[in-house]
Structure 1
């Protein structure tokens, strides 16, 4: 847990430093700002989960798998041999399952990034419009004062 949090924090800092060191044009042509923020958060959470929980679970399940076959071969080797023949089929099914989940996850991540990016861009546009209208009002009143004083 602690290692995952430390590594994800370091990764977020390096990612942000790298993004901030890019030219301003990079964000105009290559990538949207909302994608950078979304990617920092999403990727850091994935790394944190992989290091903290999933690595521990992987070691636990691998040890259980190996010790189960050791006990199986020492107790009833014929049954363990039959079970060993089924392992590649289970691995293929697991691979298909993981591939499908990864594709669905990437599609949902893209949709969420686009939706969040649109909301952020609309907010920026509204702030920009509000700023421009307030400066236009000030400029108009300044122009009126200047023209009436002459």
Structure 2
């Protein structure tokens, strides 16, 4: 924490900017590399039973505010019909999530720091009782109520 991620990225050969364009995923790639995880786009969790995700935050009136949403995984629409939620690759990623908040200091500013790490272990919690998939309409998915309440969106179609 409070260490410049761009310096760590450079030390580990991760491109942050090239030809004036930002590599949008460099912060997440850096965190995955530091955690010893593989950098891939597989549907399986990227850790030893957990998924690592990061989102940039910026200050608004001295409060850290998320810059954007994040997606857990992409899902084939037919998969929504064919696969029960608790058997899906989305659930495999979501059930044990490590979330990293990183700083965003403005466009074209490479400096970024890890602000906070928070784990969400839905297997080891009373929260699991509340996580019930809502009816899914093809192309219009709604997050389970507990996730929507916490501002997490588990599915991106």
Q: Calculate the TM-score normalised by the size of structure 1.
A: 0.23
Q: Which entry has the higher C-alpha Rg, 1 or 2?
A: 1
Higher relative contact order (CA 8 A, sep 6+): 1
* Larger proportion of helix: 1
Q: Calculate the TM-score normalised by the size of structure 2.
A: 0.22
